[in-house]
Structure formats: structure tokens, C-alpha cells
Structure 1
Amino acid sequence: MLELKLEGGRRWLSDGAVRIPIAEFGECRGRHQGSVFLLASGPSAGEFPLSRYADWPVVAMNGSIVRCADQRVTPFFYLCDDPGFVRDRPDLACLGARSASHLAMSLNCFQALHQHDPTVLPQCASVLLLERVNRQNGMAVLSDRSYAWSIRNDPDLICGFSLLHRKTNRIGFSCDMSKGYFGGRTIPYAATQLACHLGFSQVFIVGMDLSKSIGRFYETGAAALPSSLDEDFDDYILPSFRIVAEKVAPRHPLRLFNLSQGSRLPASVVPKVELTELDALLAAEMAVTDGKHLRAGA
């Protein structure tokens, strides 16, 4: 079993036979700027001309790595915090781990991936550990309400608080991934927090359709994995992105855009843009930097 070890002040993943060093999120905080694409798995991702924007960094997650492979785009980051996905679609998890410049997974995802193929992780150039806020060894340290109250003065952790409603205390946003991240019940929300942590100021989300009925672009029929989007949308997903719009964006140089015109997420929460608007926003960024654009991670 792959386990998390602390040796010489550094963290490692080890099963006794291999030692995989963990890069710390604190080392990459604020080191990037400009625009980034977050690639989710909704059907609209299958229609997006990703290769046209290959000069910008792309964060892939779960099965959206298929689009990167089809479009010959090397993802800057590959994210996964669902061990069920790794167990059910190990081929895609391995593809993401092997092709991305940086791999970020939860410990149970690393364990599932390593169990499937022990050769993958030792070959990764950069491995980071995704950890939820208020968790130690997978268990909550404080109650949701107590944790929400404890971070009320922390500028890096923006959280709801309620004495009456338990769910409110589970919803928040982390600007510092070394302190953990809030799940939001959808992986694009973790990717949004990562983008903020890295220093990107203009975030374009692709394939965030958020509809269980239309599924994912890379799977159909009986092969489709179950989804809880409908159950989680009103209670977790929508309130999480509202925190970005109402509490994060006013404090940080973070502009979030949704490239899915049919997304369930209202444009009043995350503005929706067409390709022509996307091109104009990127052109404006290039003009500010005098055309000097370097791919993140290059």
C-alpha cells in the first residue's frame, strides 16, 4: 500500500519499494500570471477547439484528459480527487498522470493509481498532494461549524458561516492550496482554487455544463459513470461559485468565465463568453504584455 511519509522535512509517497517525492503547493504559489483554461468533462468540451489555444496553460481533470490527447495538447496540470474514477477508468487516470507537466491527486487516488500500475507515479516529474481543508488522515479535525469560525480572519480561506445551517459551513474557497481546498462537489471548483493559488488572473472554464442528463463528452450508454450533479447543484455547487463571485473576486485579481453557453450555472454567477469574446480577452491580455506570452511551466 502506498503511504504518505515524512522524512528529512519532506513528504514522500512510498510502498517500501519506491519513494516518490511530493512537491509542496507553497513552492508554486503566485508564480504564474495571465490566463489559464480549466478543462472539465461536459459535452461542450468535446466541441471546443482546444488545440487553437495550446499556447495557454490547460488544467485537465478526470476524463477531460481525452480531449487533450485528441487535440495534442500537453496539460499543465492534471487533477483528480475521486478514487472511484481512478478505479473505474484507470486508463484515463494513467493517461493524465503520464502526459501532464504536474500531477495533483488526493492520497486515495494515488493509492488506487499505484495499485493499478506501479510504474506510473515514479515516472512523473512533479507530484502534488491534493488535501481538503480541515482534514487529517482523511478525517475532519473540527466540526464544519467550528472550522468555519476558526478561519474567519484568515485572508487565504474564505468560508460561509451559519449557526443554523450546517451546509453553509462546508462551502468556501481557498486561495492557498497548501492550507487545503474546498470540494464544492465538482472537480472544476478545485481547479478554480488551484488557478487562484498559482496566480492566474483570467480563468476560462471549458466543459462545465453541470447537467447529469447530458453526461460527459467521452462516454455514452452503459459505459457512463454515475454522477451526483443534480443532487449537489443547489446545495453545494451553485453556492460555491457564488462565493467566488461575491467574496473572492472583489479581494483578488481573479476573473472567471464560462465557455459553456448551455451551462446550468447562471451567467450572473460566472459570465458566459463566446469564442469571439474569448479571443478578444486573450488579445487584450497580449496587448498589455506587449505580445510576450510564455506557456506556464515552459
Structure 2
Amino acid sequence: MGSFFKQIYRYTHPRSYRHNENLWPYMKIGRARSGEITKLEYRGQYVPIADLSSLKGKFSGPVMLTATGPSVKEIDFTQPPLPIPAFGVNGAWSLSQFFEFSFYVIVDMGFFDKKPEIVANIIAARNLTLFTTAHGIARIVDRFGLKNIQCTLALIEDAACRIYQPALKPHELKGFYVVKESSAEFAPDRADIGFSTDIRQGIFDAGTVIYWALQISLYLGFTELFIAGLDMNNFDKPRFYESQSDMQPTNLKGIFTNLVLPAFQHASLLLKDKKIRVVNLSVNSAIPDYIFEKVSYNDAFFKKN
């Protein structure tokens, strides 16, 4: 039946709407004037989602962003810093033995499919807000059932392919959002590299989930962002939560120079302008310190002045 509806959708919609084909006609949405999805129904069930407007600027101070580079293994988290909200991505959940995650973001659909045991633990956390896309919510409901979702779901969208709206090609992004007078800010020489200061209007992708987490953290109101595991090198090594035998592939090496690095440089300038400090706890990261300052975990939290 799913393939039947997919064929109908393809025949009745332009190719630019193809990213919606797995959701139609199972998902129904309602939007607020500010752009975000506020009502969600999937397979005839109402799915509760967070009110993104109520989260805008709600928090302040520092937050710990936990990426998944191998360098995380070099940090002694048994010495936790002072209480600080933790924001995880993908497989960083194993660090929950050291941090109580308040926020999480997963936008890689392959992660939902390949790491269901991790996803099951994340959605069972009552005090956690999981930011994910409509496709991610559909995967969660299909695999685990609505009754097993204990966390708060916050629905976010890729600015290039919002639900039931035509997809935008990379070179079309700046022209579209500038005309809309949106909260998006673009790199001066790149129409395809944007950064959203209002996630209700969509979030810009740069090939890595941490780029999404930066935009979300800014929207939430945090002013000091500590990032563990932002290595962006050693792509042939397992992520800190993987072993060599279960290592999942990554395309980051191929897009690092032309997309990831200039995107982080753009984010750095924007965040500095907004007086937001970003600290990369991976001292051997391929992200230069002129983009994000590099400080070891011990020096960042335990060095005495």
C-alpha cells in the first residue's frame, strides 16, 4: 500500500516535492504564522510536539554539546563540571552515565534504522527534548509506537526541504530566504551556506548534525557552547561509541574542505558577533582555533586562575 501511495504522489506532484513521498498521505500538519509545524497527525494518531515558540530564548549560560569524534574517549568525564545542561547528538547517549541529557538532536535517518537500541533509550528519557524531523518522528512512531515515547518531541525542518513545500537546491537557498526577509544569515560568498537564528523557519544543513545543534543552541538562548568530540579528522576511525566491527560509514571527509569548514567559519563569525562563546574541547580538531577556540576539558573546567 505504501508503494501504491508513493506512485500516486509521484504522478501528482512535481519532482521538487519528492522528499514528502514517504509521508503522504499518512502525515497531516498545521503551521503557525511564524512558520513552524504546531500540529502533527501521523497514521490517524495525534502526536504531541513541543511548542518551538515557547523555547525561544528560554535558557541561558553554558551548555555541553557532545559530538561523537574519537577524542571523547580521551576525556575523563568522571570529573563532571559544575551542573551544566547537556545536548547530545546521535550516538553520544553512552555519555548519559556522566550527564543527564536535557536536549538531543538526530536528523540522520540512517541512525534511526541502524541504532534502534540507542534511539529506544533516548525516547524513554522523560526530562529530555529530542529535536528531529518529521521523517524522524515517523520512524520513531513506526518502530516503537506512540505510547513508548516518554521524551518531548520537538519537530524541526531542513530549510532546504520543508514538509509539503517544494525542495530548494543549494544555490537557491539564499535567494529564497533573503526574499522572505527571514532570520537566515548567509556566508557572503556562498548562497548555499546559511545559519538560522530562528529555527521555526528551518535549519540549515552543512553535512554534520553539530551544525544543527549550534543553530538550536543559539535559538534556545545559550551563550557559552562547549563542544566535546568535534574532531573532523580521523574519519577512518570509529566514533567514540563504536568499535571497528560496527563502524558506520561517513561522507564527512569528502565534504569537509568545501562545505563543513566554511560553514563552521560562517557560524563562528555570526556567533562571535552575538557575543556567544564557542569552545572546542577537541584540542587536535581539524577545525582551526581561529574558528572555535580550543581548550582541553580539564583547562576549561578545572584550571585554577
TM bucket by the smaller chain?
A: 0.7 to 0.9
Q: Following the alignment from structure 2 to structure 1, what is the Cα–Cα distance between the partners of residues 122 and 75?
A: 19
> What pairs with 1:52-201 in structure 2 (closer than 5 Å)?
52-53=80-81, 55-68=83-96, 70-71=97-98, 73-99=99-125, 101-119=128-146, 122-124=149-151, 126-137=152-163, 140-152=166-178, 154=181, 156-160=183-187, 168-201=190-223
Q: Following the alignment from structure 1 to structure 2, what is the Cα–Cα distance between the partners of residues 4 and 42?
A: 37
Q: Secondary structure at the match of 1:210?
A: coil
Partner of 1:241: 264
Amino acid at match of 1:222: S
Cα deviations across residues 199-223 of structure 1 (Å, max 9, x unaligned)?
Answer: 1110000111112122301111231
Give the superposition deviation at 1:141. 4.4
> What pairs with 1:246-265 in structure 2 (closer than 5 Å)?
246-250=269-273, 252-265=274-287
The question of whether the paired residues in 1 share the 8 Å contact of 2:27 and 2:41 is answered with yes
Residues paired across the two proteins, number: 273
Q: Does residue 215 in structure 1 map to residue 243 in structure 2?
A: no
Identity over aligned pairs, percent:
23
Q: Following the alignment from structure 1 to structure 2, what is the Cα–Cα distance between the partners of residues 260 and 210?
A: 10
How high is the TM-score relative to the length of structure 1? 0.82
The question of whether the paired residues in 2 share the 8 Å contact of 1:87 and 1:113 is answered with no
Give the superposition deviation at 1:277. 3.3
Give the superposition deviation at 1:4. 4.0
CA distance 1:64–1:222, shift in 2 (3 Å): same
The question of whether the paired residues in 1 share the 8 Å contact of 2:123 and 2:149 is answered with no
CA distance 1:21–1:201, shift in 2 (3 Å): same
Q: Secondary structure at the match of 2:204?
A: coil
How high is the TM-score relative to the length of structure 2? 0.81
Q: Following the alignment from structure 2 to structure 1, what is the Cα–Cα distance between the partners of residues 241 and 111?
A: 13
Give the superposition deviation at 1:261. 1.2
CA distance 1:134–1:26, shift in 2 (3 Å): farther
Q: Following the alignment from structure 1 to structure 2, what is the Cα–Cα distance between the partners of residues 105 and 201?
A: 22
| Unpaired stretches in structure 2, ≥5 consecutive residues | 1-22
Q: Following the alignment from structure 1 to structure 2, what is the Cα–Cα distance between the partners of residues 225 and 54?
A: 33
Partner of 1:269: 291
Amino acid at match of 1:131: E
Cα deviations across residues 34-78 of structure 1 (Å, max 9, x unaligned)?
Answer: 10010011112233344513610010110001122x32x221111
| Unpaired stretches in structure 1, ≥5 consecutive residues | 163-167, 285-298
Q: Secondary structure at the match of 1:135?
A: coil
Amino acid at match of 1:23: A
Q: Does residue 231 in structure 1 map to residue 257 in structure 2?
A: no
Q: Following the alignment from structure 1 to structure 2, what is the Cα–Cα distance between the partners of residues 110 and 221?
A: 30
Q: Following the alignment from structure 1 to structure 2, what is the Cα–Cα distance between the partners of residues 183 and 25?
A: 19
